[in-house]
Amino acid sequence: MGKKNALADPSRLKPLDSDDKQLLRVVIETPKGSRNKFAFDAEEHIFELKKVLPSGMEFPYDFGFVPSTEADDGDPIDVLVLMDEPAFPGCLLTCRPIGVIEGEQGDKKDKERNDRIVAVERDAHSWANIKTIDDLGSQFKRELEEFFVNYHKLSGKQYRVLGMKGPEQARKLVKAAMR
């Protein structure tokens, strides 16, 4: 089978909603509740299993990327999406950014930025009143930080949260990374 039989390339979609440029388009790679970490392979045009989390650990929310962007780590910008029900790998969502978790990953010698946008799916009922990352509360934010720290530990890498910023910084991050 050649590339003609593979999936279309969702990483090449437009990053912003055509009707409302404040909204991001997000392609889901890993659904909420999954122990399996999936990633889109743009060369092969497939979703590939990258790792399996240990028993008792799962993705707390849907995880994906903003298409047609490139972050400092060379991958599209990561997005953690808050919504009412899990999506599925390859699902395209329209999301409202509420903030960004600024972080760096690596070891003591080799560190790179790896920020994660936090967004709310446009039609999510349970999250409709959340406008900024601060609306989530300090305990919720601490749990998100801990997930990313522990997730990277599994690969022998360190992840350090540098800070959390609001929706405007998330939009700036996307605009700077658009290709």
pLDDT at 74 over 80: yes
The pLDDT tens digits for 32-67 are 999 999 999 988 999 999 999 999 999 999 999 999
Residues 6+ apart with CB under 8 A from 120: 81, 82, 83, 95, 96, 98, 127, 128, 130
The confidence score (pLDDT) of residue 109 equals 82
What is the phi/psi pair of residue 50, to 5°? -95, -35
Average pLDDT, the chain: 93
The confidence score (pLDDT) of residue 5 equals 62
Give the rounded distance of the alpha carbon of 143 from its chain centre.
16
Give 95's DSSP letter: E
The pLDDT tens digits for 101-133 are 999 998 778 889 999 999 999 999 999 999 999
Range of the domain at 15: 3-174
Give the confidence band of 1 by pLDDT, cuts at 50, 70, 90.
Answer: very low
Residue 173 in contact with residue 77, Cβ under 8 Å? Answer: yes
Question: For residues 146 and 124, what is the distance between their CA atoms, to the nearest angstrom?
Answer: 24
pLDDT at 164 over 60: yes
**Does residue 179 sit within a domain?**
no
Give the rounded distance of the alpha carbon of 154 from its chain centre.
18
pLDDT at 87 over 60: yes
Q: Based on the structure, what is the number of domains in the chain?
A: 1
| pTM (two decimals) | 0.93
- Provide the 3-class DSSP secondary structure of residue 171: helix
Region 140-144: mean pLDDT is 96
CATH of the domain at 58: 3.90.80.10
The Cα angle at residue 46 between residues 100 and 71, in degrees rounded to 5 = 25
- Provide the 3-class DSSP secondary structure of residue 178: strand
Helices (H), 16-166: 138-153
